Every structure is written in C-alpha cells, then in structure tokens.
Amino acid sequence: MNSRVNSVIKMHFKDKWSWFIIPWMVLLSSFVINLIVASLVDTPEGIKTGGLASIFVYMLCGGIIVLPQTFPFALGFSVSRRDYMLGTAGMLGLVALYCSAILIIMSLIEQYVIVGWNVNLNFFHFSFMDPMNMFNLFLVYFFAIVHLFVTGFVIGCIYRRFGKNGMFIFFAVLLMIVTFFGYMAVYQGWLGDFYTWVTKYSIVEIINGASIVMLALSVLYALFSYLLLRRSTV
C-alpha cells in the first residue's frame, strides 16, 4: 500500500467519533431501552428485538456522509482520487472488522455469559443463528456492513458528480423501475415462484446466499463509485 493511501486511512482515523463511537452509541442506546423494557415485561418466550439493525442503518448513513465530509478536503490537499478511494475502502474494511468482531463478542456474551442479559432479551443473538459457526456469522456481519456503507457511498458519489438534479432523476428512475418490477412480480407470479425457490433452502443457506449477493453488489457499487469520482471536481 502506498503511503498516500495510508494517509487517507489516517485522515479517516482522525474522525474517531463518526467511525468508532457514534455507531455504538446508537446501537447501545437501543440496547439499553430494550434492556429496560425487557426487565419490566415478563413473558415466558422472552423479548426479541430488531435493535441490532440500527448499527447497519448507521453504516448506510456513514457511507452517504463520508464523501462530502472528506473528499473535497483530501482532493484540495493534493490527494488523488484513486488514493482517496483505496484509503476509504481500507478504512471501511477496518471498521467492518471492528464492528463485526464486537457484534460476535456481544452475541457470545448474550448466549453464554450473561444469558439473555438476565432479562430474557434477544438483542445480539437469535435462534436462527444457532446452526452458524462464529466465522460464518462474522462474514455475514462483515459483508452486510460493507454493503450498506458502499450503498451509501455510491449515493454520495452520484450527488457529488451530478448534483441535486442528478440525484432527483436517479431516484425517480429507480422508483419507476422498482414499481414496474414490483407489479410484474405480483402479476406474473414471480413472487410466489421466488418464495418456493427460496424456501427450498435452509435459513443459513439463505443468509449466506444473501451475503454473497451483497458482496457482489458492494464490488459493483464500489467500481461505479470510482468511475463517478474519477470525473468529480471540487
């Protein structure tokens, strides 16, 4: 890795709050609320929550925000677009590693150390994960974080390159395409076919399959982002 790619990683590291602290403040605030609720409610089957999703949503937002925050700064100080892209990808890798590792550790604690956080709460671990080994689960988290971040990043790139109007047109067209295929899926019975096809597989196979699709999409979005950045000006 050349030193200028490294310097971009160092630049991102300067913003510890956005990368390392705020995502966990978001997740932990959700966790605390759920803890309180779980301690007040007493149900035999326990409480299952989707609070875990908050950190993934944060990653999407992080991806959108990082470009306007750092790209003009870096480019203005003689960093090339390529080095910016590679350094940001490197930073994302580190952050995804860090977040996935903590999520795994929390899930282990919930499962074995303080079972259900003593209030029968399922926050970090769900029964469908039982058949997965830790490494498998780690990869699922890792790819999901990368995918959401890159999705946000490509949105940021479209805005950077084409501005407000470009953004508007992009989402208008996207909405039309989604609507069209949504109707088609219902009228042509694709939805039912898809459901029959998917349910042939186990839940673990479905999750792993989805992770691979997310990984492929991430690569695609990243390449598209780079193409947009190559023509972006400050």
Partner 1 sequence: MKTVIEAKSLTKAYGDFTAVDQLSFSLEEGKIYGLLGRNGAGKTTLMHMITAQQFQSSGELLVFGERPYENNAVLSNICFIKESQKYPDNFTVKDVLQLAPHWFKNWDAEYAAQLVEKFRLPIKRRVKKLSRGLLSSVGIVVGLASRAPLTIFDEPYLGLDATARAYFYDELMEDYVANPRTVILSTHLIDEVSKLLEHILLLHDGKILVNEPAESLRGGIFTVNGPKQQVEDFTRSMNVIDRQLLGSFARSTVHHSLSEQESLHAKQTGLEIESVSLQQLIVHLTSKPSNGSGEVSLV
Q: Which residues of this protein are in contact with partner 1, per CB under 8 A? A: 2-4, 6-7, 10-11, 14-15, 17-18, 69-70, 72-73, 75-83, 230-231, 233-234
Q: Are 143 and 214 in contact (CB under 8 A)?
A: yes
**CB of 75 or CB of 203, closer to partner 1:** 75
CA–CA distance, 82 with 88 (Å, rounded to integer):
10
SS3 54: helix
Give the nearest distance from C-beta 230 to partner 1 in angstroms: 8
**CB of 79 or CB of 96, closer to partner 1:** 79
Q: Are 12 and 70 in contact (CB under 8 A)?
A: yes
What's the one-letter identity of residue 60?
L
**CB of 162 or CB of 190, closer to partner 1:** 162
Cβ partners under 8 Å of residue 64, min gap 6: 152, 153, 155, 156
**CB of 4 or CB of 48, closer to partner 1:** 4
Give the nearest distance from C-beta 88 to partner 1 in angstroms: 13
Give the nearest distance from C-beta 2 to partner 1 in angstroms: 8
Give the nearest distance from C-beta 99 to partner 1 in angstroms: 19
Give the nearest distance from C-beta 83 to partner 1 in angstroms: 7
**CB of 6 or CB of 49, closer to partner 1:** 6
DSSP codes, 74-137: HHHTT--HHHHHHHHHHHHHHHHHHHHHHHHHHHHIIIIISGGGGTTEESS--GGGTTS-HHHH
Give the nearest distance from C-beta 127 to partner 1 in angstroms: 40
Give the nearest distance from C-beta 60 to partner 1 in angstroms: 19
**CB of 48 or CB of 82, closer to partner 1:** 82
CA–CA distance, 210 with 184 (Å, rounded to integer):
22
Q: What is the DSSP letter of 201?
A: S
The residues facing 47 across adjacent strands are: 121
Q: Taking Cα atoms as reference points, which of 73, 90, 81, 66 lies closest to residue 1?
A: 90
**CB of 83 or CB of 110, closer to partner 1:** 83
What's the one-letter identity of residue 146?
V
